[in-house]
Amino acid sequence: MSERLFINQLSEQTQVDDVYRAADKQLRANRQGNKYILLKLADRTGTLTGMFWNAEDRDFERCQDSEYLHVKGRTQIYNGNMQMIVTGISPVDPSQVDPADFDMFDASASEQAFARLKELLGSVRNIHLRQLLDACLADEEFMTRFKQSPAAVTNHHAFPGGLLRHTVDLIELAQLIGPRYPQLDIDLLTTGAFLHDIGKTEELSSGGELTYTDRGQLVGHIVIGVQYLADRIAVVEAETKSPFPVQLKWHLEHLILSHHGLLEYGSPKVPLTREAIALHHLDNLDAKLAAATSIIDSDISGDKNWTNYNPSMGKKLWKSPID
């Protein structure tokens, strides 16, 4: 299995005969009433849509319960995106595959990022924030999910582990930039950066397809984050047997609540403190640059200078490097 052609190695018109994880499988009818199977094929390097035209009910039934499929077919460009025209599928026993080939979540990169996170948080000197961060890091079950969570369903950091990656990047930005503005409280900014998107751990479901959870849709990561903060502060108060400073709690809540910057972007409060203003702009900087890089890196348009139009950015991007 080590010789496999990974998804990010496929180019147009490649003949494929290999094993993939089926992140999604649906038996559908087209407008004319003919059946086909729509597959979302995945390995650790990416995902690819597969179309198995004129499929039979039994093709689908045979594979319905298999996570891994042996797939035959050929790649095509359709509407500017790569897809696979599948001509045959058969179930594969999970024991036959090397899970490391199929897991988009790069556990070792994640552990490395988590070690870096702990190192960065280690710089926080304020005793209350120190205790709070320790209480978060000690929440092992939650931290396991935190490490595997994406930061978004599309756009920037939309992969398992993306949330941790974005969080580490943001704290690094905060610690680089912070000292240039002597009025900023770096401990507070660091803690706010750690917490700002922590609710995404519960807002997004990272098994198989990236989707929103029911709680995510009804409550949203911003308020879930505030709820998780309350939970951890309760732990700190129980351990220290003394109340967490109430203004500091409000300030942390405010950092989470206001980080989208404007009401119309879903923040119920606009940033009213220097740290909240800094956090919002640093988050925006990292998210927008990560999104642009991901769009440019994965662009397959034929144009040398410009990407395809990206609907969530609302524009084409210029790819051309300086020379």
Q: In the range 85-124, which residues lie near a second copy by CB under 8 A?
A: 85
CA atoms within 13 A on the CB side of 245: 10
Q: Is 248 helix (H, G, I), strand (E, B) or coil?
A: helix
x-marked contacts with a second copy along 17-36 as a string, rule CB under 8 A = -----------xxxxxx---
Among residues 18, 59, 101, 187, the one that binds a second copy under rule CB under 8 A: 187
Residue 208 Cβ vs a second copy, minimum distance, rounded to whole Å = 15
Rounded-to-integer distance, Cα 29 and Cα 243, Å? 61
Asked whether 124 and 187 are in contact (CB, 8 A), the reply is yes
From residue 296 to residue 315, the character string flagging contacts with a second copy as x (rule: CB under 8 A) and all else as - is: x--------xx--------x
Contact flags string 234-263 toward a second copy, x per CB under 8 A: -----------xxxx-xx-xx--x-----x
Least CB distance to a second copy at residue 303 (A)? 10
Torsions phi, psi for 244 (to 5 deg): -70, 140
Scanning 75-83, 111-119, 138-146, 236-244 for contacts with a second copy by CB under 8 A, the matching segment is: 75-83
For a second copy, the closer CB: 141 or 264:
264
Q: Are strands 81-92 and 204-205 parallel, antiparallel or unpaired?
A: unpaired
Q: What is the nearest approach in angstroms of a second copy to the Cβ of residue 272?
A: 5
Q: Contact, 23 vs 208, CB < 8 A?
A: yes
Instruction: Please select the residue that binds a second copy; options are 9, 123, 154, 227, rule is CB under 8 A.
Output: 227
What are the φ and ψ backbone dihedral angles of 20, each rounded to 5 degrees? -135, 155
Using CA atoms, how far apart are residues 230 and 232, in angstroms rounded to an integer?
Answer: 5
How far apart, in whole angstroms, are the C-alpha atoms of residue 231 and residue 241? 15
Which of 101, 283 has the CB closer to a second copy?
283
The answer to whether the CB of 45 falls within 8 A of the CB of 6 is yes
Residue with tokens 């950015």: 313
The residue count for binding a second copy (CB under 8 A) is 79
From the list 89, 164, 195, 226, which residue makes contact with a second copy (rule: CB under 8 A)? 226
User: Interface with a second copy includes 176 (CB under 8 A)?
Assistant: yes
